[in-house]
């Protein structure tokens, strides 16, 4: 009896050990990356040629007022001391107060990030749902007209300036045809109707059962999301095509065909199955890029997201807001990398 308990314990330990080791390694790696990110953003923030004191006191303030605020912001302390204070605050979830609008930066980020999350998620969904099949078909029918179209779509997606496409889209679909909503997240009539739960209006309005608000929000998000989705699609379809071409020329595909498998089974059951891991990385990267906030898209569509938040903060010398925003974006990258690593383990038998 005792022996069997010991054996069970050993087995449990043996199965937990690599798992625990994996978690610890991941945590260690995340901590080091985060520390590096904080340090680099902090130093960049301090050496940049912008003056947070001037931004607060205004250009006509006296030297005494300037010096008082300089001291108040702790800028007279050694850089290392400033960094340690900052690190301590960030570890407590405190990014400080926005130097300009006097609100906690964390509250500002809570307000602007859901807008970007909503837009980036819809954009990525559009990119994946259209880009992956397009890439697969283009690879399978290499050289056909579909392949040519896929390449043109990808090329245009890569080369067109996003603000130009955005303005054209607004002009045609909002200005001329009136099919979609204009700049902003909602028409003025629908603002402040739905209580904020997640900050994502599509979800909040659905939870509240306010379908009028949902439709209006959808009419506003669809154009910028399609635009971002198009850029995402261009990247995803090109990469999918390339991964698939590599697989389709592999020997096991010929073997599968010789064995008499249907073409559908060969493509989706074998070739596509083997590119899932690479595709996850591509999609995660594309999603992370959109989550950074596409500044130009946000500006053209008056979308109050994190991209325009960081840019405005940067132009206004609001260093706390810039650092807070950058740390959040960095965290997103790290989390998505971790997530794609986890999915690797699920989908790639070799990693087990």
Query: Residues interacting with other proteins, by CB under 8 A?
Result: 49-51, 54-63, 65-66, 98, 100-103, 108, 111, 161, 163-164, 167-168, 170-172, 174-176, 178, 182-184, 187-189, 191-192, 299-302, 304, 308-309, 312, 316-317
- Give dist(CA 101, CA 113) in Å, integer: 17
**DSSP class per residue in 215-230:** HHHHHHHHHHHHHHHH
Angle, CA 77 vertex, CA 73 and CA 78 arms, to 5°: 135
* Residue nearer to other proteins on the CB measure, 25 or 172: 172
* Residue nearer to other proteins on the CB measure, 300 or 323: 300
* Residue nearer to other proteins on the CB measure, 161 or 209: 161
CA-nearest of 104, 33, 67, 79 to 331 is 33
Q: How far is the CB of 74 from other proteins (least distance, A)?
A: 18
Q: How far is the CB of 261 from other proteins (least distance, A)?
A: 51
Spell out the residues 6+ positions from residue 352 whose beta carbon is closer than 8 angstroms to its own: 345
Q: How far is the CB of 156 from other proteins (least distance, A)?
A: 16
Question: Does residue 110 sit in helix, strand or coil?
Answer: helix
Q: How far is the CB of 56 from other proteins (least distance, A)?
A: 8
* Residue nearer to other proteins on the CB measure, 108 or 292: 108
The radius of gyration of the chain from alpha carbons, rounded to an integer in Å, stands at 25
205, 213 contact by CB (below 8 A):
yes
Spell out the residues 6+ positions from residue 114 whose beta carbon is closer than 8 angstroms to its own: 198, 199, 200
- Give dist(CA 182, CA 175) in Å, integer: 8
* Residue nearer to other proteins on the CB measure, 108 or 118: 108
Q: How far is the CB of 203 from other proteins (least distance, A)?
A: 19
Q: How far is the CB of 57 from other proteins (least distance, A)?
A: 6
* Residue nearer to other proteins on the CB measure, 150 or 300: 300
How many C-alpha atoms does 350 have within 13 Å on its Cβ side?
Answer: 2
325, 109 contact by CB (below 8 A):
yes
- Give dist(CA 230, CA 158) in Å, integer: 10
* Residue nearer to other proteins on the CB measure, 192 or 251: 192
Q: How far is the CB of 227 from other proteins (least distance, A)?
A: 14
């Amino acid at each position: 009896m005792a022996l069997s308990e010991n054996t069970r314990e050993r087995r449990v330990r043996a199965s937990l050990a690599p798992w625990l080791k994996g978690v610890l390694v991941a945590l260690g790696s995340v901590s080091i990356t985060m520390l590096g990110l904080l340090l680099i953003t902090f130093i960049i923030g301090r050496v940049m040629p912008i003056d947070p004191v001037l931004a607060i006191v205004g250009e006509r303030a006296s030297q005494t007022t300037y010096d008082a605020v300089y001291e108040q912001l702790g800028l007279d302390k050694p850089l290392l001391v400033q960094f340690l204070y900052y690190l301590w605050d960030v570890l407590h979830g405190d990014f400080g107060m926005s130097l300009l609008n006097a609100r906690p930066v964390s509250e500002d980020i809570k307000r602007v990030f859901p807008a970007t999350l909503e837009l980036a998620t819809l954009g990525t969904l559009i990119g994946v749902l259209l880009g992956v099949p397009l890439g697969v078909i283009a690879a399978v029918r290499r050289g056909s007209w579909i392949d040519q179209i896929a390449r043109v779509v990808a090329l245009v997606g890569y080369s067109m300036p996003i603000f130009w496409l955005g303005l054209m889209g607004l002009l045609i679909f909002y200005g001329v045809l009136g099919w979609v909503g204009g700049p902003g997240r909602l028409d003025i009539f629908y603002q402040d109707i739905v209580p904020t739960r997640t900050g994502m209006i599509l979800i909040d309005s659905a939870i509240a059962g306010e379908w009028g608000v949902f439709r209006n929000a959808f009419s506003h998000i669809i154009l910028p999301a399609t635009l971002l989705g198009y850029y995402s699609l261009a990247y995803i379809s090109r990469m999918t095509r390339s991964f698939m071409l590599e697989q389709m020329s592999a020997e096991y595909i010929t073997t599968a065909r010789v064995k008499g498998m249907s073409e559908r089974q060969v493509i989706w059951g074998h070739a596509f199955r083997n590119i899932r891991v690479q595709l996850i990385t591509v999609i995660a990267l594309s999603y992370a890029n959109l989550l950074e906030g596409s500044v130009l898209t946000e500006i053209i569509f008056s979308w109050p997201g994190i991209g325009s938040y960081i840019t405005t903060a940067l132009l206004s010398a609001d260093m706390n807001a810039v650092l807070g925003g950058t740390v959040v974006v960095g965290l997103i990258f790290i989390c998505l990398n971790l997530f794609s690593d986890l999915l690797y383990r699920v989908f790639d038998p070799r990693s087990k």
